[in-house]
Amino acid sequence: MCCTAYRLVTYVKSVNYHRVDDMRSGRSLYRYLLRSTQKLPSNAQPYYRGNIREHFDNHSQETDQVRLHQIRERAEEDAKWILAKYKVEH
């Protein structure tokens, strides 16, 4: 998987299940990223959706708030970059 795709999905896998606010924030980003894949060409959608799901599960135990914030910011930047790469309005 390319570096950018990994960073894009890194946050969604980093939900802190110990705090309700963090869980909502992670879920809302997860939904946003999945909805964003609908704007991509049909051949790219399964790749990004699969990675988002996989990495969300792999990192669901992340609890460090500073790290979660960094991951979220990077995921949002990467989502914008990927949409721009495919020339999709975000």
Give per-residue pLDDT as tens, 40-71: 999 999 999 998 888 787 778 888 888 888 88
**How does the average pLDDT of the chain come out, rounded?**
77
Please check whether residue 33 is in contact with residue 75, taking contact to mean a CB–CB distance below 8 angstroms: yes
9: left (phi over 0), alpha (psi -120 to 50) or beta: alpha
Domain residue limits, the chain: 3-85
Asked if residues 5 and 12 have their Cβ atoms less than 8 Å apart, the reply is no
